[in-house]
Structures are given as C-alpha cells and as structure tokens.
C-alpha cells in the first residue's frame, strides 16, 4: 500500500509540474504573439489578455501545491535555520495542517463558485465562465493531496526522533529525496 501511495504521489507531482510548465509556455507564447501582433502588425488580438491572465492565475494556483509538496515555502525555511530541528519539524507540520484546512476551504468554495458563476466569455467563443474557474477547486484538491502526504511524513518523523535530520543550521525538513 505504501508503494502505491508513493507512486501516486510521484505521479501527481509530475502531472502538476507538467501542467504548470504547459501553462507557463502557453502564457509566454500568447504574450509574445500579442506583442508581435500589437507592435509589428498593429492588429492586437482581443483575446490575448484574458488567456494570458487565465494561464498566469492557473500556474500560480497549481504552483502552490508544488511548493508545499517540495517543502519550499521560503519564509518558513529562514525560520528553520534559527531553531532546533525538532521544533522546526513540529512548526512545519503545524503550518502544513493550516494549509490543509485552507485547501479544503479553497476546494469547496471554489467548486461552489465555479458551479454558480453565470455568463460566457464572448472573446473565447462563448466559453462558459465556469470552465476557467474550475482551476480553483482542482488546485485546492492538488493542495490537499500534497498537504496530506507532507503531514503524514511529518508525523512519522515526529514519532521517530532518529529520522529528524540535524545539521549545523537546524532542521532540513525537505529531506525528501528518498521518501
């Protein structure tokens, strides 16, 4: 069962990375196309601002689950260098639980908003506004999966003090190369 969960975790991680990379590429290409059409051909596309905004927002929302999964919340890493490894691990687990609660709220209310949002984007061929809004509950669900995995690893580490990695600077909670 543990092997299945690890494989599932890696699959979700790769899928999220691929989605973020695709959104970054698409947003970059749309913006470059827009600039070329606007300043070289004096014929800017009317849809480019909306599409680039969707790509950017989607990339940011999906990127949060990547940063949680890889334990790369920058503000927390600076704090971990100044406190004991065990306290840093406890704070990391607590912070991830807070993010988990936020993710559940984010997922539920994002889904409700996406289901109820009226209207269409005429510049995108009358696409319903609920379609791009679905990135919110999807990102929330990915964030829940990332938080559950990270919190489970934190609990195992807290229950087994020998697994808390110590270094001169303090905890290295993102020691997840072999997990």
pLDDT given at position 4: 83
pLDDT given at position 164: 52
Angle at 21 between CA 138 and CA 96, to 5 degrees: 50
The separation between CA 166 and the C-alpha centre of its own chain, rounded to angstroms, equals 28
Residues of the chain with pLDDT > 90: what percent?
19
pLDDT given at position 161: 63
Q: Report the candidate in 34, 25, 62 with the shortest Cα–Cα distance to residue 136.
A: 62
Q: How confident is the model at residue 29 (pLDDT cuts 50, 70, 90)?
A: very high
pLDDT surpasses 90 at 71: no
Rg (CA), the chain: 20
Q: Enter the tokens of residue 84.
A: 């004991």
Q: Enter the tokens of residue 72.
A: 């790369």
78-100 pLDDT per residue, tens: 777 888 888 888 888 888 888 89
Paired with 167 in beta bridges are 170
Q: How confident is the model at residue 6 (pLDDT cuts 50, 70, 90)?
A: confident
Q: Enter the tokens of residue 150.
A: 């990270």
The whole-model pTM stands at: 0.73
pLDDT surpasses 90 at 129: no
pLDDT surpasses 50 at 166: no
Q: How confident is the model at residue 69 (pLDDT cuts 50, 70, 90)?
A: confident
DSSP string, the chain: -HHHHHHHHHHHHHHHHHHHHHHHHHHHHHHHHHHHHHHTSS---TTHHHHHHHHHHHHHHHHHHHHHHTT--HHHHHHHTTS-HHHHHHHHHHHHHHHHHHHHHHHHHHHHHHHH---EEGGGTSEETHHHHTHHHHHHHHHHHHHHHHHHHHHHHHH-GGGS-EETTEE-TT--TT-
pLDDT given at position 18: 93
Average pLDDT value for the chain: 81
Q: How confident is the model at residue 26 (pLDDT cuts 50, 70, 90)?
A: very high
Instruction: Please state, in angstroms and rounded to a whole number, the distance separating the CA atoms of residues 60 and 139.
Output: 9
């Amino acid at each position: 069962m543990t092997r299945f969960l690890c494989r599932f975790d890696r699959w979700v991680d790769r899928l999220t990375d691929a989605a973020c990379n695709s959104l970054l590429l698409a947003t970059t290409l749309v913006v470059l196309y827009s600039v070329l059409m606007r300043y070289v051909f004096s014929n800017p596309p009317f849809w480019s601002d909306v599409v680039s905004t969707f790509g950017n927002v989607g990339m940011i929302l999906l990127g949060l689950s990547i940063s949680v999964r890889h334990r790369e919340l920058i503000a927390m890493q600076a704090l971990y260098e100044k406190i004991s490894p065990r306290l840093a691990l406890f704070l990391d687990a607590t912070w991830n639980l807070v993010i988990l609660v936020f993710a559940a709220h984010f997922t539920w209310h994002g889904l409700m908003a996406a289901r109820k949002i009226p209207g269409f984007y005429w510049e995108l061929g009358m696409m319903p506004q609920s379609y791009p809004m679905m990135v919110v509950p999807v990102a929330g669900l990915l964030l829940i999966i990332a938080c559950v995995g990270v919190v489970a690893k934190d609990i195992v580490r807290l229950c087994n003090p020998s697994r808390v990695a110590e270094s001169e600077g303090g905890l290295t909670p993102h020691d997840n190369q072999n997990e």
